[in-house]
Structure 1
């Protein structure tokens, strides 16, 4: 594949991976590097209170919510990073991932959630 085609593919992939920016604005700062957590799949939707990402370990689904850095901008009182169990109401080909009410972990610091997630998926 030529360099030009590779750059085009990379641009398309990066725009798909940054769906949260379309829903919550280009200036929204996740505080985490998605390149380091490349197992996260963006499922952000403008009607949610913050960007969200899902991932799967075995048969289990999880949703990570990333709220605004400033607490006064948040609608919820949880930590900036909130990890919940989730269910797939779709199928493997067309997943429909919804968080349950089960909160697994919550914190404020980007490095803390990064380490927690990497340990959870077995990449410590």
Structure 2
């Protein structure tokens, strides 16, 4: 988490695995978010058949003041990997863009 401070924990205590929200206007469609889901290391401990790391598009069906970020039939998987190295390679461009924003 410290390597990518733009990731915001959106996990709920009843989620199967932790999830992290992020948004980058220049990389994704307006009003769209990305959610990183992190499954357990051991495949037998997972409650689904997804890879260790998966990033899906998501939408805010709430408001800016009370956001509710969800997946629906129009969202898609944009990244999946079993390796943390692959995840880092995927996230680094988002960090670079985040660092280029004014006020950073």
Q: TM-score range by the shorter chain?
A: 0.7 to 0.9
In the comparison of the two structures, how many residue pairs are matched?
90
Higher Rg: 1
Range 99-108 or range 63-72, more displaced:
99-108
So what's the TM-score if we normalise by structure 1?
Answer: 0.66
1:102 aligns with 76
- Which ranges of 4 or more aligned residues in structure 1 deviate by more than 4 Å? none
Give the structure 1 partner of residue 96 of structure 2.
Answer: 123
- List alignment gaps of at least 5 residues for structure 1: 1-33
Q: Which runs of 5+ in 2 are unaligned?
A: 98-104
- Flag the structure with more relative contact order, 1 or 2, with Cα contacts below 8 A and sequence separation at least 6: 2
TM-score, L = length of structure 2: 0.78
Q: CA RMSD in A?
A: 1.6
Matches of 2:87 and 2:4, distance apart in 1 = 10
